[in-house]
Amino acid sequence: MDVNTEVLSLWEEYYKKNSTISEEMELVPMFYHKSEHTPKKEIRVLSVGFNPSYVENNYKKDGVPKDLIEIHRWENFEKGNIDDILKIDMALRSEDERLKHLFYTRYFKPLNDFYHKIDILKNNDFQKSHFDLFFLRGTVQYNAQKLLIEKQIKIDNEGRKETKLTNFGEKQLQIFKKMLDSYDPSIIFVFNAGSSHIVCEKFLDYQPISDNGFFYYKKSDNEKIPVVLSTMLTNGRMDVFTRELLIWQINKYFNAA
């Protein structure tokens, strides 16, 4: 699959079709390299967010083309710009020695620190990727939700939600699912409350948590991938005790496997 071609086609469709969305689609979508959703190692970890932040300050640092901020504006974007933008997108979520100053430390360092406390990941070479459910860039999740979610209601006393996505949001989620199935992770971490509700409904069919503390994403061949649904690791959303309990649970699961 060519993720970027599919996403660009979607942006072109909705930018022209819907004037309200067009006004909000100020930035180009998030891009992914094929290597990020292609299985290469036996152990593959996937973290899932809601939508990508736009970290403009990263594009003002040394080593970044001076016009990169301008080509991130959808009205200025040309397909010939995609390689320059993709280079920066990858550096934001994966430390690259050549572009280390662009790494989005605030989000991904706590995630990497978390991985380093999981025994199977400490003791084995593993592949890691991060996908957002949606490709719409923005620093305020609430603003993105207005274009992606038509309505959301609680369906039980435990706080589970039913989400009706806009067509624009639904089509992005379909592309995310293709990436997920292509990557075929060993375990999925959803560290975002909004994303956890959507994954619970759209991918897990509101299944109850299993006896070992995991949810499971069922693949087409009836194999199952363990899923962790939680809030964010950063900004004090997850306390130290919850984090330690989660690490214990994951280690117990893999050590018993």
Digit-by-digit pLDDT tens for the chain (257 residues) are: 799 999 999 999 888 776 666 666 788 999 999 999 999 999 999 999 999 987 676 666 666 666 777 888 888 888 888 998 898 889 888 887 777 777 888 889 999 999 999 999 999 999 999 999 999 987 677 778 888 999 999 888 777 889 999 999 999 999 999 999 999 999 999 999 999 999 999 999 999 999 988 999 998 777 899 999 998 887 667 888 999 999 999 999 888 77
- Can you tell me the distance from the alpha carbon of 250 to that of 123, in angstroms, rounded to the nearest whole number? 14
How distant, in Å, are the alpha carbons of 113, 120, 176, 204 from that of 4?
30, 32, 11, 26
Amino acid at 112: N
8-state DSSP, 35 = G
CATH code of 19's domain: 3.40.470
The number of domains in the chain is: 1
- Can you tell me the distance from the alpha carbon of 59 to that of 129, in angstroms, rounded to the nearest whole number? 22
Give the residue numbers spanning the domain of 86. 3-256
The residues, any chain, with a CB within 8 Å of residue 190's CB and separated by 6 or more, are 47, 48, 196, 199, 227, 228, 229, 230
The residues, any chain, with a CB within 8 Å of residue 128's CB and separated by 6 or more, are 44, 45, 46, 47, 94, 115
Question: Which of 126, 125, 169 has its CA nearest to residue 149?
Answer: 169
3 state SS of 97:
helix
The residues, any chain, with a CB within 8 Å of residue 256's CB and separated by 6 or more, are none
In this predicted structure, what is the pLDDT of residue 77?
A: 87
Question: Which of 149, 53, 66, 55 has its CA nearest to residue 102?
Answer: 55
